[in-house]
Amino acid sequence: MSFMEEIHYDQVFKYHHTAQFITDSKGKIIHTNQKFEQITGYSLEEVQGRSIDAFFYKQDKKRLFLFHNKKNTLGNVSFTQEIQINTKKDGPKEVKIWFNIHQEKGYKVCAVEDASEKAELLEKVHNEKKKLETILTYLGDGVIVCNPQNQITLISKKAMEFLDLRTSHGVVMSHEGIIGQNIKICFPEDLYTKISADIENFTTHPEALCRCKLENNNFVLQITYSPIFTAHDEFVGIAFLLHDITKEIEAEKFRVEAMQKEVEIAKRIQTTLLPPEEVLADAKEYFDISAQMIPSDEVGGDYYDFIFSKNGRYWFTIGDVSGHGLTSGLIMMMAQVAVMTTTVLSPDISPRDMYSKLNTVLYTNIRERMQKSHYMTLSLLVSNQQGDFHYVGAHIDLIVYRDKQKKCELLQTEGVWLGIIPDIEGTTKEQTFHLDKNDVLVLITDGIIEVQNAQGEMYDIDRLVALIENNAQLEVTDLRNLILQDVANFTLEPQDDMSLMVIRKF
């Protein structure tokens, strides 16, 4: 059996990344590897058969005594020796030698580590560590790293500032006191439970990226955490990134508050344009009128108006702009101004002509200038003192309670929506009806009849008609309040503006 077959290969290749040499029982070199040649400068041919003593300086000879005399020890022996070796090119070099003595054969398998290389490597590691510490110090986010056992191995100063970790006695924990602690000291119990559940899945989901939010007395933090794997897919820990979103939350809160103020202003403008009670009282000799609009949480597009013109005509309008928000509210105000202006400047205008002119105004503003797709449904009515009505529009049916029959009649509006096409003159049809004494006209927007209850049922117009027929004897204000209360009792909460006009002919 050859020498290389006799020696223990597991000992030789255990140190394959280091310089290796093997001596016989007399301390003479019989084998080396490539790393040995890189460190010493000597090839195997140059050192084979030479004593290992030749490579060490005189002051280290005594330190080799243990090496030479281990042969008297029973069994296999391993030990380490710091020593200076004489290299071919660079002269003396500090090295560390691991001796593995196989007593049964007398061979010594040795590994040599270049101490200068190790020192250089340690210096690089130290420098990289300092760089990382500098980055973490000036990084605006906090960083925490823990091992697979959830023990903290790294925590930045920013993370410590964010979390304000304290002992049971209320003392701020030091960096040294935190390292090695379980990551659960950083989070409330409920949040740690969620994080722990996510961590359990990390070993099978290496691409996992999880997020959560933590609020404490000083900060609102968005926490992102993910697993750390080596190049060989070994799970070695979890990295946490703590991002301070306190200012972002405050900015968003400020933005929402500012928007709410704008909405409140728009809603006040919207309701301010509605006719006040004294205007409704102008018609008291011929009509008893009560009206109300209940806005939803958003600015809506509901609109109603009553205008008493100088030539003794009474104008009634009610409508709804599609959508919600400031745009719908703005379009509603356009319609109100256009109708008011037209009745003042052209008091004798017909409902048909006014409706056509209003469409031109809204189409130009909505489609051409605002570049929006909104539209408006509207009923436009005008009456003389005797109760002869002319009306146009495209809106919810008019509800007319006939006092003599004690029944309601539904009058359809057969026009087109406003703002859809530029010219509706050819498609606008004017219709008529008459109110006798004590007859009641009820005008509504869809927010009244389209509300839903918890079962998803709509209030619908039939329910409203039945309520009016059973309570038409009430004063118009009482009937108005009864309708609104009945709708409120039916639904969980209004999903839309609700507008209502109740008009009784005297």
Q: For the chain, which residues make up each domain, given as ranges?
A: 3-115, 139-244, 273-505
Cα–Cα distance measured from residue 52 to residue 61, given in angstroms and rounded to the nearest whole number: 10
What integer best gives the mean pLDDT of the chain? 85
Q: What would the CATH number be for the domain defined by 3-115?
A: 3.30.450.20
Dihedral pair phi/psi, residue 427, rounded to 5°: -110, 5
Inform me whether the pLDDT recorded for 153 exceeds 50. Answer: yes
273-505 is a CATH 3.10.290.10 domain: no
Q: DSSP label at 323?
A: S
* Lowest-confidence pick of 17-21, 78-82, 209-213, 380-384: 78-82
Nearest Cα neighbor of 325 from 304, 305, 296, 346 is 296
Q: Say what the pLDDT of residue 98 is.
A: 67
For 139-244, give the CATH class: alpha beta
Q: Which residue has the higher pLDDT, 99 or 184?
A: 184
Vertex 485: Cα angle to 319 and 326 (nearest 5): 35
Which residues, 6 or more positions from 461, have their beta carbon under 8 angstroms from its beta carbon?
396, 397, 399, 410, 449
Q: Do the domains 139-244 and 3-115 match in fold?
A: yes
Confidence tier at 16 by pLDDT (50, 70, 90): low
- CA-CA distances (angstroms) from residue 95 to 38, 69, 80? 13, 21, 11
Q: Say what the pLDDT of residue 386 is.
A: 96
Whole-model pTM over 0.75: no
Q: Say what the pLDDT of residue 216 is.
A: 87
Phi-psi region of 57 (alpha: psi -120 to 50; beta: other; left: phi over 0): beta
Confidence tier at 430 by pLDDT (50, 70, 90): very high
Asked if residues 36 and 22 have their Cβ atoms less than 8 Å apart, the reply is no
State what percent of residues in the chain have pLDDT above 90. 50
Asked if residues 253 and 267 have their Cβ atoms less than 8 Å apart, the reply is no
Cα–Cα distance measured from residue 291 to residue 48, given in angstroms and rounded to the nearest whole number: 114
pLDDT, tens only, 111-129:
777 666 666 766 777 777 7
Tokens coding 41: 């400068």
How many residues comprise the chain?
506
Q: At what angle do helices 351-363 and 326-345 cross, to 10 degrees?
A: 140
Q: Which residue has the higher pLDDT, 174 or 122?
A: 174
Cα–Cα distance measured from residue 94 to residue 116, given in angstroms and rounded to the nearest whole number: 7
State what percent of residues in the chain have pLDDT above 70. 86
Inform me whether the pLDDT recorded for 7 exceeds 50. Answer: no
Inform me whether the pLDDT recorded for 69 exceeds 60. Answer: no
Inform me whether the pLDDT recorded for 368 exceeds 50. Answer: yes
